[in-house]
Amino acid sequence: GAVVSQHPSWVICKSGTSVKIECRSLDFQATTMFWYRQFPKQSLMLMATSNEGSKATYEQGVEKDKFLINHASLTLSTLTVTSAHPEDSSFYICSASPTGRITEAFFGQGTRLTVV
């Protein structure tokens, strides 16, 4: 099956710093990539949708200047958490779809971000 690699799997950073999370589709071209945030024992909340070469579409309430998303190629999307605060600590998951109309989405392993 299709593989999506997310890196790093966990990261600890200091308050005020920025951290970048990468999401790569290893064996297919991802027309669309999604970024989710998951709090402990809760569901996945969609943060933004990104299409290669265009600006990401952010969900209401998600600060686009804080959560920078770049989908520079058909196999790579990045999420940068800028000026991180402890409340940004969470589990971030990316997914990628090989088709324009979503018929399946493949998920990365997730990134555990802890801001201290």
Partner 1 sequence: AQSVTQPDIHITVSEGASLELRCNYSYGATPYLFWYVQSPGQGLQLLLKYFSGDTLVQGIKGFEAEFKRSQSSFNLRKPSVHWSDAAEYFCAVVTDNNDMRFGAGTRLTVKP
Binding site for partner 1 (CB under 8 A): 4, 6, 32, 34, 36, 41-44, 46, 49, 91, 93, 95, 100-110, 112
CB of 94 vs partner 1, minimal distance in Å: 9
- Which pair of tokens denotes residue 26? 């290893």
Least Å distance between CB 112 and partner 1? 7
Nearer to partner 1, 28 or 82 (CB): 28
Within 8 A by CB and 6+ apart from 70, the residues are: 50, 77, 78, 80
| Gap between the Cα atoms of 22 and 4, Å rounded | 10
| Torsion sign (Cα): 50, 55, 60, 62 | positive
Q: Which residue's CB is nearer to partner 1, number 46 or number 76?
A: 46
